[in-house]
Amino acid sequence: MFKSVRSVAVYVSDMNRATEFYTKVLGFELAHDLGPELCFLRSHTGDIYIYLEAGKKPAPVAGDNCRLSFFLEAEEKAAEVYAELKASGVKLLQDAPEEVSDEDACFQFLDPDGNIVEVSARIR
């Protein structure tokens, strides 16, 4: 039925803050500015599109609450991405990347609105 994901919608409370985070911290590029409450971002490879919609209230992350999260596959090693995000002051949800196979590790962090972003990357 489906063959791929074209874009991920991320609902945020403040467009300027979210755009700055996703472009300056995560390295996405502004693809389409659709006004003060809507924009599309794309990865430098053009493989990932993120649709930001502002004016939403963030839900708290607590206990066993179910939340939508999305995975980003990194070009660098997991430990390098983790260290870079930590140095940028990003709220990381693990003490270190977790090995999920002999080759891969993953970890989670929060964007400024508490949306969970998961990173999957090579260990070595």
What is the pLDDT, as a whole number, of residue 60? 67
Here the tokens at position 82 are 């983790």
Q: Which fold has domain 1-56?
A: 2,3-Dihydroxybiphenyl 1,2-Dioxygenase; domain 1 (3.10.180)
Domains 1-56 and 69-124 share a fold: yes
Assign 70 a pLDDT band (cuts: 50, 70, 90): confident
Provide the pLDDT confidence category of residue 63 given band limits of 50, 70 and 90: low
C-alpha closest to that of 50 among 34, 63, 64, 66: 34
**Where exactly are the structural domains of the chain?**
1-56, 69-124
Q: State the fold for domain 69-124.
A: 2,3-Dihydroxybiphenyl 1,2-Dioxygenase; domain 1 (3.10.180)
pTM (predicted TM-score): 0.86
More confident residue, 66 or 75: 75
